[in-house]
Amino acid sequence: MKTIARILAPLARIPAGITLLGAIGIIATFTPWGLAANAVRWLAFSIFFAGCAFEIGRRFKPGCVLKFDAVDFSAIAFVAYAILSIAWSADISQGLISGIRLLALLMVFLHIRSHAADFAMKAVAPIAILGSLITLGFTIAFPDSFGGFFQENFSTEAYLALLPYLFMFTAFAGSMAFRKETRSIAAILATLMGALPLAGILIYLLAFNASKIELFILPALVFYAFLRFDIFKLGRKRFAAGGILVVAAFAAGGMLMPHILATPSINVRVPLWVNSFFMWMDAPILGHGLGSFRATYPLFGESFAQLVGLGFESQTRGGIIGDMAHNEGLHLMAEMGIAGLSLAIAFVAAAFLHLRTRKEPLSLMQEAAAMSLLAILGIAAIEFPFHVPTTAFIATISLSILLAGEDRIMASLPLPDAYPRFMARLLLAVFSIGLIGMSCLDLRASIHFNQTKILMGRGYGEEAFRELDAARRIWPLDSKLRSLLFPTLMRWQRLSGLRYGTDIPLEFYPENVAKIHEISFQATPHDNGILNDWMRYLIMSMVFENTPEKTREIEEGLKTLKNRAKLDPDTWVTEGFYALETKDIPRGLAAVEKGRALAEAGDLLDATARETILKQFRWMEDSLSIGQAVPANIWKDRNNPANNPK
């Protein structure tokens, strides 16, 4: 018992915020994706923030002075501009969510950096150990929920960010365990506590993990350790050896570049990067605003395809992968422009200046924090770790640890009176409660949204739509839930094969379809998928109501669709349907020819999608070749008794 008490003694001195991190964050941050994990993780962070806010409030005492240095000011300036950019964001609701979370991360960074760095250093290693053990346990116990590329690439990033802490903890404990003068049962147990999860994670990542693209971080970390710690006692010669290794790595990368670009992971990311670059070029100075990426990206979804002449680029429909640029630098530039990028560079410069001017050498935990940040920055080149709660949280804690301690004081803000202290505490309390409430709503909506995906995958269109509708009513700020409502309704129709009869659900009455479309359209007005589905609905309903206004709307919509998604075969399927309905044979044959050529040349179309589209074009061509337009109607006219047999 004394040994256990000695191991846990540092944790007993940890303040409320860090205690909540250990008690709640460990388990909640490493839950399987099947349990709406990202929402659970944001909720865990919200509770942790409440603990930090409690600690901050306790420090607001008579004579309290808030001190800020260059690092603090640069971080505050970056977050302030990010929040300001919401004013011109194309998706204000998503911008508000991102801004609130960014502000909370900033406050955690400032608090831990100024007042709790020592406690954080003592807490992070045990948290890394327990979190890694829990994650490995989930992976083994729930392989179906936690396995697969979509799940594993995010857990892989968390593993890679935690590895430096595990390594430093194990190395420090091992050095004590193997020296006679410091050897003890506690040191041996601590070594095992670090070594077992460290070995387990490495074996899992290298032998069993399906997500391999992030593993380039491992040699990068080894290379950093080689240069930083002079493991082989080479002195200054290690820098020359490091330079040779860098040149060799670039040479090997150049020779392997054709093979690297041909891999599926890179093959999908390159179009995203190029499209994101064109998105930045559209608003280079101020950017499109925080949270605007998903709403604005479809306008540039074909930029890469048009640049290199591909037949079809898989992101033109604004799919889920178009939510992020998969490169944090490009994502930052697209949303916040050169202004935001300059502020981010200013923060990095202030951090480097702080590290260069500090008098004390970095501690082991600070070295681990530097390596963890290196891993996260490497991942940021191909993923979006600052938008995933686990890695964003680890990055915040690592920055706090690495930059702990005061620099030259730039400004002070005294709080001498009771009223300002009371208002500061009140604002912290309101913000904490609001953040937790927002996270709870997000969690409830995420559970319904996960059910939507499961039900849709099983072919239950109606139940999937009801779950999605419940999710967007619970959490109306999430524009993604609203944008998916109309496409899910259309998917329900296709799955159920609704035709003539008396049992058409209320959602399919024309006035309700229009309302549902308006909800999705307002969420993402540039989504080509929503526009395509709306055009098909209008075309299908022409058999019952064919007015000049509807014809004009269809013509204008098709013109917009062909302008924004001319390389998507689905665009020409819709064009062909309209030609069939209007008996415009030349127009229909031209659409078939164009769409078929795109589908056959579409390198990024999988075999099933290509064959489905080609079947549609073959059917369309057969109908057009005999000059007979086959109505695409599947809708019911409630006012026509002939279509409603009793």
Same domain, 212 and 279: yes
- Please state, as a whole number, how many other Cβ atoms lie within 10 Å of the Cβ of residue 253: 11
What pLDDT shows up at residue 174?
Answer: 81
Note whether 445 and 410 are same-domain residues: no
Which has more pLDDT, 249 or 572?
572
Whether 425 maps to a domain, the answer reads no
User: Would residue 467 count as lying in a domain?
Assistant: yes
Mean pLDDT estimate for the chain: 77
Asked if pLDDT for residue 257 goes beyond 90, the answer is no
**Same domain for 499 and 382:** no
379 and 278 fall within a common domain:
yes
pLDDT value at residue 268: 75
Which amino acid, one-letter code, is at 116?
A
Structural domain includes residue 424: no
Do both 454 and 382 map to the same domain?
no
What tens digit of pLDDT does each residue of 446-463 get? 889 988 988 888 888 889
Work out the number of other CB atoms within 10 angstroms of the CB of residue 13.
11
Supply the pLDDT for residue 328.
Answer: 94
Does the pLDDT of residue 99 top 90, yes or no?
Answer: yes
What per-residue confidence (pLDDT) applies to 417?
64
Question: Which residues constitute the domain of residue 582?
Answer: 436-643
Residue 571 belongs to what H/E stretch? helix 569-581
Q: Which residues neighbour 340 within 8 Å (Cβ) at sequence distance 6 or greater?
A: 78, 81, 82, 85, 287, 332, 333
Residues 623 and 524 in one domain: yes
447 and 355 in a single domain? The answer is no
Are 182 and 298 contained in the same domain?
yes
User: Band of the pLDDT at 130, cuts 50, 70, 90?
Assistant: low
Is 80 exceeded by the pLDDT of residue 631?
no
Would you say residue 426 lies in a domain?
no
Whether 476 and 394 map to the same domain: the answer is no
154 or 397, which is more confident: 397
pTM: predicted TM-score of the whole model, two decimal places: 0.84
What is the mean predicted confidence (pLDDT) over 565-588?
A: 87
Residue 641 has pLDDT above 60, yes or no: no
pLDDT at residue 614 greater than cutoff 90: no
- Check residue 246 and give its pLDDT: 67
535: left (phi over 0), alpha (psi -120 to 50) or beta: alpha
Report, as an integer, the average pLDDT of 545-574. Answer: 88
- pLDDT category of residue 238 using cuts at 50, 70 and 90: low
Q: In the chain, how many domains are there? A: 2
Residue partners of 148: CB distance under 8 A and separation at least 6 = 210
Asked if residue 410 and residue 456 are part of one domain, the reply reads no
**Beta bridge partner(s), residue 412:** 67
Mean pLDDT of 610-616: 78
Main-chain dihedrals φ then ψ at residue 396, nearest 5 degrees: -65, -45
Say whether both 259 and 152 belong to one domain: yes
Q: Which two tokens stand for residue 440?
A: 């709870």
> What pLDDT was estimated at residue 131?
63
Q: Between these two residues, 385 and 150, which has the higher pLDDT value?
A: 385
- What's the confidence (pLDDT) of residue 144? 55
Residue with the bigger pLDDT between 332 and 322: it is 332
Do 212 and 348 lie in one domain? The reply is yes
Evaluate whether residue 427 is within a structural domain. no
Q: What is the pLDDT of residue 162?
A: 83
Given 386, 416, 446, which residue is the final one in a domain? 416
Element at 65 (helix H, strand E)? strand 64-68
Distance from chain centroid for Cα 284 = 23
Last residue in a domain, options 416, 447, 481: 416
Number of CB atoms found within 10 A of residue 470's CB? 18
